[in-house]
Structure 1
Amino acid sequence: MAYLDLRDGGARAMVPGVTASEAASLQVQNGHLLPVEWTIVRLAREDGLSSLREESRLGRLLRLVFGFRRAMPLASARLEALRRIAVLSWHHGYNIAPSELGRFYEAGYTTHQYETLLRHIGALRLSIKRRNRA
């Protein structure tokens, strides 16, 4: 089985016999985010800052009584760290607390992945602002 990488407009064939997990490992080593991680980033745009806080008893009661929706933390600690950084980036841009960055790096992400994420979100935020002005 061969893996064909069609990202960036070019096709790079991997060595035959490379499994999907090995291909994912190569993507992580190269500083790229995986497709599931980009999905988390897109979905984080809809999450509010309140999704980052622990839910209180009163909050849980109000949610149950009035039917508020709350973004629940992800089961994977690595993906939850990505979601937290993405939510903060969507709302605050480059102004991220050092403790959140530490959590992001401890989850196994690299500085290159963080910069790629910020460039992507920054470009989308700018295009949204331009679209709203027109």
Structure 2
Amino acid sequence: MASLPVSAWPTDLDTLAQPPRPRLVAVEASAPAIAAPARLSALEWSIVALAERDTIASLREPGRIVAALENLFGVHRPNKLANSRLEVLRRVAVFVWRQGWKVPKSELEAFLAEGFTLDQYELIQASIAERAAPTRRRGRGR
């Protein structure tokens, strides 16, 4: 095996390859981005409140026979909302009012596809859970 004598190493530090010096780059100091709290508009909150009266059956499309029977007996079905974003909100709110956290994945995906966020979904869940909780009577146990 061949080796170089120790004297073959350069003794002058200037002849050694110098690594490039790090370059300082000014970074603008800014406050960390704080996520805005989840909010719904007054119109959106009114849709959530109106969904309290609707049932899960209001979300299904009736068949021809059922539609004919409803017309014959005068059964009124809640109309879909003309705005698709608000209709998706209504559908999610109906599921939350009736089933709590058991919202179908497809409905949640549609909710997110319309531009809503998971924070808004959790806000709706928390608000409905607070309103649906049994109220405590004051003055009980006197």
Task: Decide: shared fold, TM above 0.5.
Answer: yes
Of 73, 76, 88, the residue aligned with 2:83 is 76
Tell me whether 1:86 sits opposite 2:59 in the alignment: no
- Greater C-alpha radius of gyration: 2
CA distance in 1 between partners of 2:128 and 2:86 (Å): 17
Of 65, 85, 102, the residue aligned with 1:95 is 102
Of 124, 131, 134, the residue aligned with 1:127 is 134
Shift, 1:48, TM fit? 0.9
Tell me whether 1:117 sits opposite 2:105 in the alignment: no
Shift, 1:30, TM fit? 4.8
Q: Secondary structure at the match of 2:129?
A: helix
CA distance in 2 between partners of 1:77 and 1:69 (Å): 21
CA distance in 2 between partners of 1:110 and 1:50 (Å): 26
The alignment's TM-score, normalised by the length of structure 1, stands at: 0.71
Tell me whether 1:58 sits opposite 2:65 in the alignment: yes
Q: Which amino acid aligns with 1:79?
A: L
Q: Gaps spanning 5+ residues in structure 1: where? A: 1-28
Q: Gaps spanning 5+ residues in structure 2: where? A: 1-35
Give the RMSD, CA atoms, in angstroms: 1.8
Structure with more of its chain in helix, by fraction: 1
CA distance in 2 between partners of 1:123 and 1:31 (Å): 17
CA distance in 2 between partners of 1:73 and 1:36 (Å): 16
Q: Secondary structure at the match of 1:45?
A: helix
Identical-residue share of aligned pairs (%) = 40
Which ranges of 4 or more aligned residues in structure 1 deviate by more than 3 Å?
none
Q: Higher RCO, 1 or 2 (CA under 8 Å, sep at least 6)?
A: 2
Counterpart in the other structure of 1:21: none
